[in-house]
Amino acid sequence: MSFQKEISNALSYITAHGYQIHPEAFKILKNLDSNIMEIIQKVVRFKKNQNDTNIILIEDIRNFCTINISNKFDTLTVSDSKLQDKNIIKTTINETQEFEIISTSEITINKPNYRESFKIIYDSADYIDPEEGINGYISLFKSRFHQSLKILSTRPESKRINKISSIKRKIKQEKNNNYLENNLSVNGNTSIIAGLVMSKRSKKNNIELAIDDLTGIINTIALNEETIKLVSKLTLDQMVMLEIENKGINHVIKNVISPDIPDHIPNKGKSDGYVVLISDLHIGSKYFKEQEFLKFLNWLNSSDNEIVSKINFLCIGGDLIDGVGIFPNQEKELNDSTIYQQMSHLTSLLEQIPKKIQVFVIPGNHDLGRRALPQPAIPKKDAGILYSWKNFSMLGNPSYIELNGVKILMYHGQGLDDIIATIPGLSYSNPAEAMKTLLKARHLSPIYGQRTPIAPEKDDMMVISEIPDIFHSGHVHVMGVQNYRGTLIVNSGTWQDQTPFQQTMGIIPTSGIAIAVNLSTLRPFQIDFSQ
């Protein structure tokens, strides 16, 4: 069949099923080299099942194929590695529930001359532009509201969103007309509202939520077991869409719709390359496990290892050093007592990373630079040497990168403290579940005014505007891996032993383990250097 015919058949299929295609999605469709009709049929079937909008977007197409997007940014070519040797990996690969365990000898190398590519898709550091005082926070929340509303607009329920001000006006008018509360004509009506969760009060048999949509604030209540459970998982200051039923002056929650990520097929790399994910080195701390980290560096330099020869990328998710003055009496826990010592210690270790590996670094709450989120990259004046290495990209926290077409969201994870402290059922022992809560809220640090400092940025850069294929965090110091709706969630643990603070908090760290992900399958492996 000619290409034109194939396109025209696909378009007929789309319209025959009551769907439309966005011009940008159409452009991508035309550039595909795979079976267009098959992809369109899958997209339509999926959208029907999901009760999704009738417009086919780029996202929908992307979910069902591998798209070759031209590189707008730097491209790195990693020369062919000598991959003949099939030795079993020297370090142990431990079994955990979430991991698919494969003996390394099962991995075959069939594409020796591949081209590896990376792009920096979004570095929050490039957009930092705070506004002073209260105005800054007003624009931050407005930006959060509008970005999240855009995310929610793909849901069919969003077409019925009512402004909170108009719901309140109606009730007020009726009350002014001296209707008795129980006789209000709005009684029994259901409406959809969408706004930020301003307060959440758990009582014995219900939860009260106040929702603000910039036109007004409305108090709603969850009364039955099912809605109470859904509401209890919402975080303060996150966006949510609610279906409410008016009962007198009460607005009873009937349904809870979080922005969430759609169930999707992630992008996968065309070649067999690996990315290694690590975080929370805490160099300078007495508890930094230097021997284990040296073993890791040694492993990266080994020439006889199959996985190693295919590692082209390394993501470091923050807390590279322990810092100075980060918490009270920290000096008693430091081996390197000055920032200068810590940074040169860091440099002497990172220097040992093979230059063929492209390294992406974001800061954490222990690193140098601004503490409030989003964090600019570790400053050049303190980390000039790292900036001078061509294989290093110093990025802000958070950042999105794309490795062989796989989109990775890197975020240190500070906001997880507030999430774990306030959402029932979450704990430091299961960080991936807490990270899932962030994906559902489509926000990396929704809760304002508690432990995590957030800067009054004009644009809320902590909204998860893109759907990541891999979501990488650290901070918690406990390893966790989970697949959620097609996104691989990874918390990469730490290289620091348990600190006295963590002991009092009951946090048992997972230290000395690196996580390698095969970019062509998104299969995670853990490589344990702790023994």
Residues that bind Zn ion (CB under 5 A): 319, 364-365, 475
433 interface partner picked from Zn ion, ligand D5M, Fe ion, none, CB below 5 to 8 A per type? none
Cα–Cα distance measured from residue 386 to residue 379, given in angstroms and rounded to the nearest whole number = 10
Among 484, 493, 492, residue whose Cα is nearest residue 464: 484
Give the 3-state secondary structure of residue 156: helix
**DSSP summary character for residue 87:** P
Query: Based on CB atoms, which residue is closest to Zn ion, 124 or 148?
Result: 124
Cβ neighbours of residue 234 closer than 8 Å, sequence gap 6 or more = 197, 200, 209, 240, 256, 258, 441
For residue 141, the surrounding DSSP H or E stretch is helix 133-152
Q: Which does 251 bind (CB under 5 to 8 A by kind): ligand D5M, Zn ion, Fe ion, none?
A: none
Place of tokens 């798209």: 67
Q: How many CA atoms are closer than 13 Å to the CA of 487, on its beta-carbon side?
A: 28
Pull the structure tokens for residue 28: 């991508």
The item of Fe ion, ligand D5M, Zn ion, none sharing an interface with residue 502, based on CB under 5 to 8 Å by kind, is ligand D5M
**Binding status of residue 319 toward Fe ion by CB under 5 A:** yes
Shortest spacing between CB 310 and ligand D5M, in angstroms = 30
Which residue lies nearer to ligand D5M by CB, 309 or 330? 330
d(CA 392, CA 385): 10
- Residue 462: CB minimum distance to Fe ion, A: 19
Shortest distance in whole angstroms from residue 475 CB to ligand D5M? 5
Residue of 311, 300, 494, 305 lying closest to 403 (CA atoms): 311
Q: Contact at 8 Å (CB) between 439 and 471?
A: yes
Q: How far is CA 246 from the centre of its chain?
A: 36
> Per CB under 5 A, does 417 bind Fe ion?
no
CB of 282 to Zn ion, least distance (A): 9
412 or 440, CB closer to Fe ion?
A: 412
Q: Is 123 in the site for Fe ion (CB under 5 A)?
A: no
Q: How far is the CB of 392 from ligand D5M (least distance, A)?
A: 22
Q: Which residues bind ligand D5M (CB under 6 A)?
A: 280, 319, 365-366, 417, 428, 451, 475-477, 502, 505, 507
Question: Does 322 interact with Fe ion (rule: CB under 5 A)?
Answer: no
| By the rule CB under 5 A, 280 interacts with Fe ion | yes
Binding footprint of Fe ion, residue count (CB under 5 A): 2
How near is the Cβ of 434 to Zn ion at its closest, in Å?
14
Six token digits for residue 135: 């105005």
Q: Which residues sit opposite 373 in a β-bridge? A: 454
Closest separation in Å from C-beta 414 to ligand D5M: 7
Residues near Fe ion, by CB under 5 A: 280, 319
